[in-house]
Chains A and B, each alone.
Chain A
């Protein structure tokens, strides 16, 4: 399956929407109200708080102790844990959606994590920074150094992001492990969706980040 075949997402909020991040608003709109959701790598709980305003039963896992404690101090159901090692503790079909927001590239085994997401959840929502974004390509091509952006400011030697991929790479992984893309959206540098009538290589070039709504393929 290719990106072009993926269904478009209607009624998107463009750019920053109030106090919430563009990609969070996008993710929240993909979740049906009343669902049970696990946010893996929930940071300080911004997305969980947004989901809570929509009547969604949200839980979280976060690696950093500071992040967890801030979440718990907001009254959120968050536990300290690692996407790579702790997802195995959750039973099959425990959640309607499992969200991995801007965390896939920081996991040690992205493929295993992705498989776990779709075991625990009936659906998974995955967002990640697109390493095929033109600014990234330009830095490597012209600058001759590993790309650094406003959203990913760390140097190669101190970044937590060890498994970067492009939109194209991710689509290929989904195909390889029989994961179906229900919806896919690329956001440009300003958090606006890249127009859907453009070919997928444009997404891969101009999408600064991508958000995918995934389900298990027919084989599962």
Chain B
């Protein structure tokens, strides 16, 4: 008989996961019925909550606030131990003492996006109208909706203008949406490995992931919570496929090649003979321990709908007309999910708007994920951009 090894089940229970959804180990901003979130789909979401982390102190003139925007499967735990996985924060390479974003100089805020599953209201939250988990009754959200919710949080924190908005991938989309929607509230914008619109290829990959989730019988048309289940097999497959798009052929070859996993010879089965298979299975199974399947559907959908030019009569430059924000756009040579050509189109539109923009393409074989990894040239550029903007903002003395 041919040996088959499926993806291992998660080590934590559905109950443990849902605890962070409703009672996050973070600060929480509650917005009552008097402050609904007006969504692009026409629904007023209310009440809702935003879970967020902060690092550093807001200065007296409230001019040193930095908003970090997380990527698709990220969360607000940028630079602290993650409450579910016990792993370090996802952007400790960029944020921390001596790093380009040093909490000694900046008041750093990162919130879980609306639709997420780490404490901000999303499909895994309880619908107050029914007392049950929202599931697919949750309204479809967009990147502009996420940014609108963040703006409400920033208002709540008493901050008028953000010194910087920083993010990569879906986080970079939020950065660009911030500059398009609230140009006067963003002094500088660092948009990394992103695009002003989701490409057809990227929508296609997202659809593949969603279909994998929906094909899992445990999904129950999105109502798995009512059955005490979670479609971890489908979600793990979605994650495995997506993870390949975050890497590159060269990086996979360098890391794994055709090497075998704990064996010398093929087993002539569908076991994980190759290291790359074992790695992907691990990525899939560890992901489902911390992420809600419906939330994955909603957030991928939000990225698919993103198209700034589409919101401005098809002319991207119109979105940035007369903008005073200082931009830094960064791409990576081996990123085929958000290739340099996408960043270049953004830069051309910013040039056409006479915006102040720096644009660097960084050579690396590490693919889209490079923005989360230790890439010194990327840090040098981020640091210099923020310092230069800090000087213009009058933060220079503190950064010296």
Chain A residues within 8 Å of B, Cβ to Cβ = 57, 59, 65, 68-69, 71-81, 86, 89-91, 94
Contacts and interface: CB of A to CB of B under 8 A. Distances in A.
Given A68-B360, A68-B361, A73-B380, 6 more contacts: A59-B357, A69-B361, A72-B359, A75-B387, A81-B347, A89-B348
B361 A77 contact: no
A78 B326 CA distance: 12
A69 B348 contact: no
> 4 closest pairs, A vs B, by CB?
A75-B388, A79-B359, A89-B348, A75-B384
B361 A73 contact: no
A74 B361 CA distance: 15
Contacts, number: 62
Contact of A72 (B356, B360, B363, B391): B360
Given A65-B363, A69-B377, A69-B381, A76 B358 contact: yes
Interface string B290-334: 000000000000000000000000000000000000101100000
B323 to A, nearest CB: 13
A72 B358 contact: yes
Contacts of B387: 75
Given A73-B380, A73-B384, A89-B348, A79 B354 contact: no
24 contacts: A65-B363, A69-B360, A69-B361, A69-B362, A72-B328, A74-B384, A75-B384, A75-B385, A75-B391, A77-B356, A77-B357, A77-B358, A78-B358, A79-B329, A79-B347, A79-B351, A79-B357, A80-B344, A80-B361, A81-B347, A89-B351, A90-B351, A90-B354, A94-B354
B352 A91 contact: yes
Contacts of A73: 377, 380-381, 384
B344 to A, nearest CB: 8
Interface in B338-367: 344, 347-348, 351-352, 354, 356-363
| Most chain B CB neighbours (cut-off 10 Å) among A65, A77, A90 | A77
Contacts of B380: 73
Interface residues of B, number: 25
Contacts of A65: 360-361, 363
A89 B357 CA distance: 13
| Most chain A CB neighbours (cut-off 10 Å) among B344, B360, B362 | B360
Contact of B326 (A77, A86, A89): A77
A213 to B, nearest CB: 22
Interface of A is mostly: mixed
A181 to B, nearest CB: 27
A57 to B, nearest CB: 8
A116 to B, nearest CB: 13
Given A69-B377, A74-B384, A89 B352 contact: yes
Nearest to B363: A65
Contact of B384 (A57, A68, A72, A89): A72
A117 to B, nearest CB: 15
A74 B380 CA distance: 9
B359 A80 contact: yes
Nearest to B359: A79
A80 B352 contact: no
A142 B377 CA distance: 48
B51 to A, nearest CB: 34
Contacts of B361: 65, 68-69, 80
Contacts of B360: 65, 68-69, 72, 80
A80 B384 CA distance: 17
A72 B381 contact: yes
Contact of B348 (A74, A75, A76, A86): A86
A57 B392 CA distance: 11
Contacts of A72: 328, 358-360, 381, 384-385
A68 B351 CA distance: 16
A196 B348 CA distance: 42
A72 B358 CA distance: 6
Nearest to A69: B360
A94 to B, nearest CB: 5
Contacts of B391: 75
B57 to A, nearest CB: 24
A71 B388 CA distance: 12
A4 to B, nearest CB: 37
A145 to B, nearest CB: 36
Contacts of B381: 69, 72-73
